[in-house]
Amino acid sequence: MSFRTFHGLSSPTFKPPPLDGSLLFPDVFEYQFERSSNHPLFLYADADGRLETLLWSDAVRAFRRAAHISRERIRGANAGTAPPVVAILAVTVQVQRSQETPPNLNRTELAHHYGNLTIIAGLMLAGYIPFPISPRNSDAAVADLLQSTACRHSYVSSDSGMQKLAAAAKARIFAQGFGELEIWPLPRFQELFVASNIPDTRLIGASVKMEDVAIIMHSSGSTTFPKAIRLTHRILLEMGLIPYYGEVDFCGLTTSAHAAPVFHMLGLTHLPYAAFTGMSIAAFSPSQPPVPPSPDRVFDLAITTKASMLTCPPSFLETWAQNPIRVQLMKSFVSFIFGGGPLQRTPSCCVAALNVIAVVSSHIDPVLVPIDDDSDVFRVFLKTTHTPAILNAVIDGVPALDTKDLVQRHPEDHRFWKIYGRHDDQIIHSNGEKTNPVPIEKIILEDPAVKHVVLFGRGNFHVGAIVFPETPFDPTDTERSIEFRRKIWRVGFNAPQLATDHSFCRPAVEAANRIAPTHSRIFKEMILVASPDKPLQLTVKGTPRRGATLQAYAEEIRELYQDVDQSFQKHLPRPKQFNNTTSLDFVRQLVGDVMVELPRDDDDLFRHGCDSLQATWIRNSIIHAVTSSSGIDYQAIPNNFVYSHPTIRQLAQMLTKLSTVGTTENENGAIHAITGDETLRAHCRDLQRAWHAAEAQFGECRSRMRPLDSLEGLTVFWRDEIRRKQPHGPYRIAAFSASALMGVVLAKMLKVIGEAVEQLTFIDNGPALWLREDAEMQLREKTVAQLRDLTDRAVENMLRADPAIPPEALASNPNLRGFGSVGLGDKSVRISAMFMTVLYRFLNNFYPDAGEKSYGAFAGSFSAWLNSIDVACAVVVAEHGLVKFNMGGAWLDLGASYLGPLATAHVLDGVGHWGIFSDERLARNILGV
């Protein structure tokens, strides 16, 4: 691969080093000392905000002094033996050098970013091998790293935390017969960067080859202890050449390294980048108090130091993306470099608005291997275009690195990719389904009550979560555990947010469930509250070590699954035999014990708040009762019978039948779902057949379990029903009548998860109709009950105008005669009323939270939301349908012209609002044939 950009060719102060590998990495320091001595390397803002600069001449002298100190303290190896490995175990906060000494911390030691880089460079000049170790490791992990690298020397910062960690690790390795670990204090700032009696002459080191180890790093240890990664001099040289494959000349630019610890590769890369490109590194001042790098502090210092590039964890970008002022300032940066985790969709959409593009490692030659049969998710292998530190695979006959990273391809533009997760993080369930824990955990972690979360479920049907509270408590305290689960479970929904950032969920478990596939949703009772008595092992990224955490809670997880699988009310008295009377009494008592309020015998349980776990309890209790009395094999009973028999009476009838005949099969071979009494289907059989044909064609999944608490909840349900029948797009979606808005939300949801939507068809309605001034005025001035009444009257009028509905049908059925006056006791009308209620609540979210409601305020946010559909839309207008009622002038197309240039309108003559389903032209339009 050839270079694309050569750096610093026109700089008066920087001279690029040879790029042919003729110099080892430590030799490049001396090269720059001689040829770029007046070029800035380190920058920082002092306490007064003044910008201070350390030139290459200052830095290399400090490197040499660090080398002399290390040579004096640590005697080198004998000729022919391996050079000593020297660990660096230091806090990454910034340290004072004034008289205001922080507690337990040497006021002059170098524990800041360029201080650690100085120690590393000095050890290399001394001929030693530096080994920066994350202070987030446990003493057991540190001891394991020291033993695996034969490290017997360590620089340790003077704070009590690092001193205790080093002492504990030292005791461990001594007890295991490894020998003594020499611990040395970090050099002081004055010793290295201020005139001192320590020599700054160049040292002559032992003969070093390009393939010799230059530095040791370590992995994050997500599943086991972190592993040492040895980087050769060749790797460091190639690291410095990475910017040469990009398109921006780094010379003269400053990168903010305030949030990049040196023990992470993100922090280490700054030194080779600077040595080969002329880039300068901005870090914390050594005179500042020792404070951790927060997002606000890092961003402010990046601006103060005039940085044009910034390296940070993805969480910092996510924080800045929520601040409009920060977003505007971000436009002045050349690049943002992040790693260690994925960037979530909300900030990435915001970053997209900055007119920037994400580029990943343009210097590599990746091989993308599909996993399973999913053509959109790939495992990343890297062939040896450069020199990876680890080669653990062979691709096309060439040694390669299996990163075990998974990436997902954009469904439409195959040039773009996003991080999907880790191959070894995927949870494979007992039914073969897979759960990617990363995005689910990320959403739950946004809840301020949650500190850490680890999903589990390998080999089980359901997924669960170990949740570590921000404020730990004893999980055996039942009341506190219940309150904690309730606290992190549910939050609200903001519809305008869906328009602006494509996010339809807010922090909480319920929000994570909204974006998760059905098999990956977390039941409330599958939340395992972590115990403060169990030690938590963290990776260098500050995340729990997944393998160690799951092992520590293995017994609790096993018991939790056992409790859920066997969650039946054993205390309930079981009748000697089940008949119509005893079965009804038993189910009433069973449901009453499970649900907060006992529904009536013919009421839908799910309309009364029965959730998935309660349904599981009801199911298991009935199975226990039946199998105990009749010896029926519970595996022969369908898992979903509570959903297909969602009333007390239907469950009792099924229970009686199971107990008497010992089978769940009827003449059609299975228990059928109870689908509900739809008004027109019950009274227009010809139209009913046409509707059923449309169902088969359009993929409508009919079920009684429709969550009607919110529009997004209902839409998520239908999204999952659709994906159950067709897991992946492209999709063609049709939304009938008042469900037009739900069609828009559904299309957006599918696009958010990377699925393609070919067409969105609105059948005799259109979402843009809410932009009519009279419609908005009604929404603003009338109550929900009044709006429902208006809707009922409109439905009645369209029923009477529909040529497909005979007058006798209207005259013979009270549900069609005087529709608006029908009481909510009727099931179909009640469900319709509930749907209209959540629809109106959804629309009201487009008004501003504060200030007076107005047409302008509503129309602005609502039209922006509609214009973000980015899907080809078709509005099918029935001649005798909605258009006959107050739809004049510009609205004869039911608002198609307001949906953008991709929208079209199609008028079907001779049909009404419901009779349109008997017209084959509708099917052709929806199916695109």
CATH number at residue 608: 1.10.1200.10
Q: What is the mean pLDDT of each run of 10 residues along the chain (929 residues)?
A: 87 95 93 96 86 94 94 70 90 38 42 78 95 86 92 90 90 88 88 82 82 90 74 92 90 93 88 96 74 80 92 82 82 84 54 54 68 67 67 76 77 77 68 73 89 87 89 91 83 35 51 70 84 85 82 90 63 74 88 74 78 68 68 50 83 78 32 29 39 39 47 79 81 86 88 85 89 85 79 80 71 44 42 70 78 78 80 89 73 82 83 80 75
What is the residue range of 789's domain? 679-701+736-927
Domain identity same for 129 and 255: yes
Residue 483: predicted pLDDT: 87
Residue 455 contacts residue 439 (beta carbons within 8 Å): no
Three-state SS for 669? coil
CATH number at residue 452: 3.30.300.30
Domain identity same for 752 and 900: yes
Virtual torsion, Cα 74, 76, 77, 78, nearest 10 deg: -130
Q: What is the dihedral sign for C-alpha 879, 882, 886, 889?
A: negative
**Whole-number Å distance between alpha carbons of 924 and 929:** 5
Residue 795: predicted pLDDT: 79
CA distance to 223, 305, 534, per residue, from 173 (Å)? 22, 43, 23
* Residue 19 included in any domain: no
* Residue 639 included in any domain: yes
Q: What is the DSSP secondary-structure string of 764-832?
A: S--GGGGGSHHHHHHHHHS-HHHHHHHHHHHHHHHHHH-TTS-HHHHHH-TTTTTGGG--TTSHHHHHH
Pairing of strands 417-422, 213-218: unpaired
> Letter for the amino acid at 675?
T
Residue 759 contacts residue 872 (beta carbons within 8 Å): yes
Pairing of strands 417-422, 731-736: unpaired
**Residue 786 neighbours by CB under 8 Å, 6+ apart:** none
Interior/surface letters 738-763, b for 16+ CB within 10 angstroms, e for the rest:
ebbbbbbbbbbbbbbbbbebebbbbb
* Residue 715 included in any domain: no
Residue 260 contacts residue 311 (beta carbons within 8 Å): yes
User: Would you give the distance in Å from CA 503 to the centre of its chain?
Assistant: 11
Q: What is the DSSP secondary-structure string of 829-896?
A: HHHHHHHHHHHHHHHHTTS-SSS---HHHHHHHHHHHHHT--S-EEEEEEEETGGGTT--GGGTTTTG
Query: How many structural domains comprise the chain?
Result: 5
Other Cβ atoms within 10 Å of 424 Cβ, number: 11
CA distance to 224, 560, 566, 713, 915, per residue, from 553 (Å)? 15, 10, 20, 32, 59
Three-state SS for 382? strand
Residue 255: predicted pLDDT: 96
Domain identity same for 384 and 471: no
> Letter for the amino acid at 125?
L
**Residue 508 neighbours by CB under 8 Å, 6+ apart:** 443, 444, 447, 488, 489, 490, 491
Domain identity same for 418 and 441: no
Domain identity same for 591 and 635: yes
Domain identity same for 549 and 616: no
Report the DSSP beta bridge partners of residue 254.
280
**Residue 133 neighbours by CB under 8 Å, 6+ apart:** 87, 88, 89, 142, 145, 218, 263
Q: Which of 242, 252, 273 is nearest to 359 (CA)?
A: 242
Domain edge (last residue) among 280, 312, 344: 312
Domain identity same for 692 and 599: no
Residue 23: predicted pLDDT: 93
First to last CA, the chain: 48
Residue 910 contacts residue 879 (beta carbons within 8 Å): yes
Residue 363 contacts residue 237 (beta carbons within 8 Å): no
Domain identity same for 75 and 186: yes
Domain identity same for 462 and 510: yes
**DSSP code, position 76:** P
Per residue, the 3-state secondary structure of 175-219, as one string, reads HCCCCCCEEEECCEHHHHHCCCCCCCCCCCCCCCCCCCEEEEEEC
Domain identity same for 863 and 893: yes
**DSSP code, position 152:** -
* Residue 338 included in any domain: no
CA distance to 4, 144, 384, 413, 753, per residue, from 209 (Å)? 28, 28, 20, 45, 49
**Residue 178 neighbours by CB under 8 Å, 6+ apart:** 146, 147
Residue 709: predicted pLDDT: 60
Domain identity same for 655 and 507: no
Domain identity same for 67 and 101: yes
* Residue 84 included in any domain: yes
* Long-range CB contacts (within 8 A, 24+) of 689-692: 690/917, 690/918, 691/917
Domain edge (last residue) among 290, 312, 334: 312
Relative orientation angle of helices 773-781 and 784-801, to the nearest 10 degrees: 140
Element (H, E) at 255: strand 254-256
Q: Which pair of tokens denotes residue 370?
A: 């599909």
* Residue 70 included in any domain: yes
**Whole-number Å distance between alpha carbons of 787 and 778:** 7
* Residue 11 included in any domain: no
* Long-range CB contacts (within 8 A, 24+) of 208-213: 208/24, 208/26, 208/127, 208/233, 209/233, 210/21, 210/24, 210/234, 210/237, 213/129
* Residue 779 included in any domain: yes
CA distance to 343, 440, 544, per residue, from 212 (Å)? 36, 42, 33
Report the DSSP beta bridge partners of residue 379.
369, 406
